[in-house]
């Protein structure tokens, strides 16, 4: 099967700037951009009142001064949290962004985005639907839409149901039974694997199905070179200060 054209660059900055700035904040995306990156990965979930905001964990404790499950709180409360002070004093007071905040930044600068749908447990389908609707609204008329990815099949099903034209990718931390068939049923354009799972045979399977082969989270030269030699298509990295995105 022929692969569709792929508008995304090889190098993608993980959560904005990896670990150099507080993840999933606008400060991180600005820092990643200052290192030359023009595509970013972020994590998106829903507040209790349906606002799409950026956060990786289900709970607030690791990356904010809040406590408990983020998805159980209204956006009015989440918007007051400090999402930067945990990282370093230089970023104290950095707020949690909404997906709309990040979309404005990306669209104004012609940056591209991989939105990982990261639902609060129990809200997989709804999160996929809402994130996809919001992405379609925010990027309406844009030359290149965001790539929606998730480990959660139900989230991708939700996205597929409401906005089938948005590109999707299945995230894998292991090659579970029928993973390729599931990706085909979801109409995915990409498989995004833990980078250690790729070998020549798996790359050939994915490319043969007309999909792209992407990797997370690649932070050393040897691993990156192995993936390039295998002919994979995208590398998500924390090391925005080590890898030149022009490479």
Task: Indicate the helix (H) or strand (E) that contains 130.
Answer: helix 124-138
Q: Are 240 and 18 in contact (CB under 8 A)?
A: yes
Q: Does 87 participate in catalysis according to the annotation?
A: no
The 10 Å Cβ neighbour count of residue 241 is 15
Phi, psi of 140 (to 5 degrees): -60, 125
Residues 6+ apart with CB under 8 A from 176: none
Q: Does 56 participate in catalysis according to the annotation?
A: yes
Tell me which residue of 172, 166, 131 sits closest to 152, measured CA to CA.
172
Phi, psi of 246 (to 5 degrees): -80, -10
Q: Distance between CA atoms of 11 and 27, rounded to whole angstroms?
A: 19
Active-site pick, 14, 35, 87, 195: 14
DSSP string, 7-43: -S-SEEETTTTTTSS-TTSHHHHHHHHHTT--EEEEE
Tell me which residue of 218, 209, 220 sits closest to 237, measured CA to CA.
218
Catalytic residues: 14, 56
């Amino acid at each position: 099967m022929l692969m569709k054209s792929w508008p995304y660059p090889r190098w993608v900055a993980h959560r904005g700037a990896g670990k150099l700035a507080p993840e999933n904040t606008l400060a991180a995306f600005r820092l990643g951009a200052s290192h030359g990156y023009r595509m970013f990965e972020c994590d998106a979930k829903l507040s209790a009142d349906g606002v799409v905001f950026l956060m990786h964990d289900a709970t607030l404790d690791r990356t904010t001064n809040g406590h408990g499950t983020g998805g159980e709180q209204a956006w009015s409360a989440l918007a007051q949290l400090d999402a930067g002070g945990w990282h370093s004093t230089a970023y104290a007071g950095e707020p949690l962004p909404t997906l709309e905040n990040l979309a404005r930044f990306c669209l104004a600068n012609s940056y591209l985005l991989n939105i990982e749908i990261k639902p609060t447990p129990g809200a997989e389908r709804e999160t996929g639907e809402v994130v996809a609707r919001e992405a379609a609204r925010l990027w309406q008329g844009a030359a290149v839409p965001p790539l929606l990815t998730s480990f959660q099949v139900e989230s991708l099903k939700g996205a597929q149901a409401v906005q089938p034209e948005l590109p999707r990718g299945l995230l894998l931390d292991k090659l579970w039974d029928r993973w390729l068939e599931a990706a085909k049923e979801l109409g995915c354009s990409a498989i995004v694997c833990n980078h250690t799972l790729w070998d020549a045979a798996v790359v050939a399977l994915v490319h043969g199905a007309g999909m792209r082969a992407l990797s997370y989270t690649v932070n050393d030269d040897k691993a990156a070179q192995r993936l390039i030699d295998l002919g994979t298509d995208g590398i998500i990295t924390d090391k925005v200060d080590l890898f030149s995105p022009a490479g």
